[in-house]
Amino acid sequence: MRLVKYLAHSGVASRRASERLIEAGKVTIGGQVVTDPARDVGSDSWVAVEGRPVQPEAREVWMLNKPVDVVSTASEPGRRRAVVDLIDSRRRLYPVGRLDADSTGLILLANDGELANRLTHPRFEVPKIYQVTLRRAANDVQLRRLREGVVLEDGPTSPARVRRRDQQMIEITISEGRNRQIRRMVRKVGNDVASLRRVGFGSLRLGELPEGESRLLGRPELRRLWKDAGAMEAAGSEGGAR
């Protein structure tokens, strides 16, 4: 197994973040610094990150219904809680993508860096569904502009799927993941977001999971996630139900 994949499967970080650790000289094999992410390693290779031994662990993916004012990081040095604080697991979990502190709803946490990378990489176009309550009733022109895509300061967005739920609530589906993208898109077309809730990620739906609660995904859900992310099999990922 390549070193970068080994680190991702060990729950150290995503593959891209693991590559950065390797390039920075923070990874050793048998006590020797290695900077080649393609280096072959196995369970007996004595891999360490910043002096701490690492080895692949059973992979877990959790769904959390994130409350407001909880941040999408693995740790939070300030007053706010981090999403990992709401998960009942001893694994080293990391958020799969981000959900703004002032947004709520479905966020995934995993120790499977390969799956996390596929789910968040723009190339795989994994859709995410949001329920958006607007400050003012949306008109047809605003909805049409969102469907066609708008030009933001960091470039044009892809067309979005938009469905009106009522005068001030719409459902938006996008496959991008830019910083505060939905809020910026809505502002660009002349409206503002009052509240934002993610209700879908790929084939997963938030359903009736209470706010602040989480659950471990089962194997059928993991297989569907891998398929969402452009792979036919879960590559040995483990899951259960809780």
What is the block-wise mean pLDDT of the chain (242 residues), using blocks of 10 residues? 85 83 94 93 88 85 97 76 92 90 96 88 93 97 97 96 96 94 97 98 97 96 94 50 39
Q: Whole-angstrom Cα distance, residue 227 to residue 76?
A: 32
Q: Whole-angstrom Cα distance, residue 195 to residue 103?
A: 7
**Structural domains in the chain plus CATH codes:** 3-53 (3.10.290.10), 61-122+203-228 (3.30.70.580), 127-201 (3.30.70.1560)
Q: Whole-angstrom Cα distance, residue 181 to residue 188?
A: 10
Alpha carbon separation from 46 to 11, 16, 60, 114, 179 (Å, rounded) = 16, 21, 23, 21, 38
pLDDT recorded at residue 238: 44
pLDDT recorded at residue 239: 47
State the catalytic residue, choosing from 100, 102, 112, 166: 100
DSSP designation for 43: T
Alpha carbon separation from 205 to 72, 128, 183, 202, 209 (Å, rounded) = 19, 10, 21, 8, 9
The model carries a pTM of 0.78
228 in catalytic set: no
